[in-house]
A and B are shown apart, each in its own frame.
Chain A
Amino acid sequence: MIALPPPKADVMARRDEILAGLCALIPGDGVITEALRLRPYETDGLSAYRQPPLAVALPTSTEQVAAVLRFCHENGVRVVPRGAGTSLSGGALPLADAVVIGLMRMNRILDVSFPDRLAVVEAGVTNLGITKAVEGEGFFYAPDPSSQLACMIGGNVMMNSGGAHCLKYGVTANNLLGVKFVTIEGEVIEIGGGHLDAAGYDWLGLITGSEGQIGIVTEVTVRILRAAEGQRAMLAAFRSTEIAGAAVDAIMGSGVIPVALEFMDKPCIHACEAFAHAGYPLDAEALLIIEVEGSGEEQDVLLGRLRAICERFDPISMRVAASAEESMAIWKGRKGAFGAVGRISPDYLCMDGTIPTSELPHVLRRIGEMSEACGLKVANVFHAGDGNLHPLIMFDANDPASFAKAETFGADILKLCVEVGGCLTGEHGVGVEKRDLMPVQFTRPELAQQRRVKEAFDPEWLLNPAKVFPLEGKLAPAPH
């Protein structure tokens, strides 16, 4: 288990006073303090970790967020920002002495401009909510995490989330124009807006992916895109993960970059097939789902080329969708992958390292060996075009030894990712989960530099403490 810093004694001692102060800032039912009602907030997508907070504040405006932050800053109270709480790295895990600031009540679409191709939304609007608001005119918001029904744009900004289609359209950072940002002192700052590339330091770039470490985002201006005329998927199954990996390289080097290029290994294929009956070939060791966009004729041309590339790698089978329905059938298994694995093993850890794509066969082989050595099953499903792995490690949460083994196995996979030239996290963030692995990827001076940048915004370490950075300095565990 990963250590959390001890609660601040002075804050715990002044609990009632602090809660009263908060209640005065948000009228009505905007502050939660009763143990029972705090329960839904005690964990996030990394549910092995649970910790009820001091209180939950649910502001409805930027002004209220600013007031709560100003109050917490003045009183030395730690804060944990929260969107939908779907973080898989424990990014939104509360601390016993912290106030969770939940953005879910800030869920209005403020402005949409089709000619300028942008939407201004509050931080608590869901990812899919943006697309829903603009799809009537044929537009969409491109980054599409699998959690898009629930996760919120503020959380997406803070995690720099990706999705299956970011091979073509990029991740969150590449689709933002501006944010409204509140500092720990409660100052409200507008960054960017409707225009591209604001002059001055790239605040937008620094804020994106900062995991709640440097401030709270209350409004986001995103780029919206006109959808292509259509899209169609194909499926190609191979005899080995090596061969499938070579096919990925050939596709990426061919000049035709598909919109999505997803990879599943055998355990995942079996899990998905049992769950979704998508017609996946059960004798394959690896399967690729490839999607292209354009008019019907364009899709034919592109799929023809991709088919020809795959044929060079002696596929066991290939299936090119002839219609939108057949495409959906191909995607059905993939989209349900997490749920499918959840059926085999109710508890699994979803890892998220990235590797250079040429290392795919090597890394998958090593993961297989580690899995055998530790006796925990693993299924691999991931975004192959960009090397972002998602090994799902299955364990038994009722058995502490099993969980400990799973955490060690996960850490070993991430170390391997770094060793082959990749990184600890491609899209789920460091959170608490990978915090103590940061020294594997960064040198001491590199981490110290990042800490100094964090401290430029938050010298007291009140913003989402115990995440991202190994516990040191103001958060160091008390000496025994």
Chain B
Amino acid sequence: MSAEAGSRIAPADEAGVAAAVAAAHAEGVPLALEGRGTKAAMLRPVQAGRTLSLRNLTGITFYKPEEMVISARAGTPLAEIEAALAERNQQIGAEPPDLRALLGSGEATTGSLGGTVACNLSGPRRVVGFALRDLVLGVRFVNGEGEVLRSGGRVHKNVTGLDLCKLLSGSHGTLGVLTEVTLKVGPAGERTATLVLPVADEAAGVAALSSGLTSPYGVTGAAMLPEGASAAGVAGPVALLRLEDVEASVTYRMARLGAALPGGRVVEGEESRALWRAIRDAAPLAAAAGEAVWRVSVRPSMAPGVVVALRARIGARVMLDWGGGLVWVAAAATAEAHSAVMAAAAGARGTFTLFRAPDPMRVSVPVIPEEVPALAALSARVKAALDPGGRLNPGRMRAGL
């Protein structure tokens, strides 16, 4: 986050984080929160005199594979967690992306667990499985007054009290500072394979993805590379349908899926994994330096219309995931382009996020949809309930909040 010159604090532990927040609260100093800094380019830049980094709060604190639960301190790189899980053939079901390339981060390792949860970032498996926020079983966090609090726990089913885990996930550090997160994890599929199906255009592509997703074959990824886009040696326009499961199931289901959607070829194993990593990280979008990038989420059947409109109006390049429901858009970083994206999302009754743009643009446009007045009032009241002084990441999501 582009905290102005100002000071930087990187406490060694949770108590240090609490002390730093309490001090900022008492002194009236806004804080810019940072995990490992890989998502600084997302949303709006935070204007804060002080940066609080969670970089030194690292390490896995608890892992029980047979209970499918892992806990780690907020600054732990996702890569470290994923490596520990891989040793036991497990994974984070939400498939959170590694956006360093997209967001122009020079960080040597991936983003942090806390930062990823604070942004609620999920990858291709989101379409059938859960969002990252669905997998957050528990959090420890520091509220805007410097109190150390918990929500949730380490068990899979828990409806005790208001679910602040979900509220904090996706709040981009504006409601509390996550210090430790407990996630539900799951088995990694024994085998993975992808059906690569050439399609004429987005309408045909989304229709193919929809037939895959409405089949009984347990598709776990449904993306489309448009004409001109490519990933891991696969060139668009193609619809991609992924299976991940036990050996026998993938064999059987791929045969059935191929029969239902003929004309494709099957990509297996590491080739398939590389393909989905690229899609997860929006690499096929190949956004040029200086271009803006948006994520638009709509009902899948609305996606072809959105794509046609954005191509015509702003010469956008796109990539589709989540069965078509997630439209990644790259275009010139201009106010007109942004208006076109907002209009397209609103027209499809969906949502958008300005993922990346030069600073002057990020401060001058709404980077996520405006809320109706009644909801905006609730946003302000909930923000005040957690961060009464408005110290945490001011302006990150919306101007003045």
Contact = CB atoms under 8 A, between A and B. Distances in A.
Interface of A: 113-118, 138-139, 159-160, 162, 166, 170-171, 173-174, 183, 185, 187-189, 191, 193-206, 208-210, 213-214, 226-229, 249-250, 252-257, 294-295, 297-298, 301-302, 305, 354-358, 383, 385-388, 421-430, 434, 438, 441-443, 445-447, 449-450, 452-457, 468
User: Chain A: interface secondary structure?
Assistant: loop
Kindly state the interface size class of chain B when it binds its partner. 35 or more
Interface in B133-175: 133-134, 143, 147, 149-151, 153-167, 169-171, 175
B86 interface: no
A200 to B, nearest CB: 6
Contacts of B67: 249, 252, 356-358, 387
Contacts of B151: 446
29 contacts: A116-B299, A193-B299, A193-B350, A194-B350, A195-B297, A195-B298, A195-B349, A196-B322, A201-B379, A201-B382, A203-B375, A205-B163, A208-B166, A226-B215, A227-B216, A249-B66, A354-B155, A354-B157, A354-B158, A356-B69, A387-B155, A387-B156, A423-B153, A442-B160, A443-B150, A449-B147, A449-B385, A453-B385, A455-B385
Nearest to B368: A199
A229 to B, nearest CB: 5
Nearest to B156: A386
B159 A202 contact: no
A226 B214 contact: yes
6 closest Cβ contacts across the A-B interface?
A: A205-B166, A253-B66, A194-B299, A426-B157, A199-B368, A456-B381
Contacts of A195: 297-299, 325, 349-351
A235 B89 CA distance: 27
Given A196-B131, A430-B161, A422 B155 contact: yes
B386 A453 contact: yes
A52 B369 CA distance: 44
B349 A193 contact: yes
Interface string B109-131: 00000000000101000110011
Residue among A253, A305, A357, A449 with max Cβ neighbours from chain B (10 Å): A449
A449 B386 contact: yes
A183 B351 contact: no
B328 interface: no
A302 B155 contact: no
Nearest to A300: B248
B56 interface: no
Contacts of A357: 66-67
B274 interface: no
Nearest to B154: A421
Contacts of B54: none
A200 B89 contact: no
Contact of B162 (A117, A301, A453): A453
A337 B374 CA distance: 45
B47 interface: no
Given A115-B300, A226-B214, A301-B249, A429 B186 contact: no
B242 to A, nearest CB: 16
Contacts of A193: 299, 349-350
B326 interface: yes
A452 B165 CA distance: 15
B395 to A, nearest CB: 15
A208 B372 contact: no
Contact of A116 (B159, B163, B300, B375): B300
Given A113-B299, A189-B372, A358-B66, A170 B351 contact: no
B213 interface: yes
Contacts of A468: 161-162
Given A197-B131, A202-B171, A256-B246, A442 B157 contact: no
A355 B69 CA distance: 13
A159 B159 CA distance: 7
A145 to B, nearest CB: 12
Interface in B47-93: 64-69, 89
Nearest to B170: A202
A213 B246 contact: no
A254 to B, nearest CB: 8
A196 B128 CA distance: 11
B161 A450 contact: yes
A257 B186 contact: yes
Contacts of A196: 126-127, 131, 297, 322, 325-326
A468 B163 CA distance: 12
B248 A171 contact: no
B338 to A, nearest CB: 14
A424 B160 CA distance: 6
A449 B369 contact: no
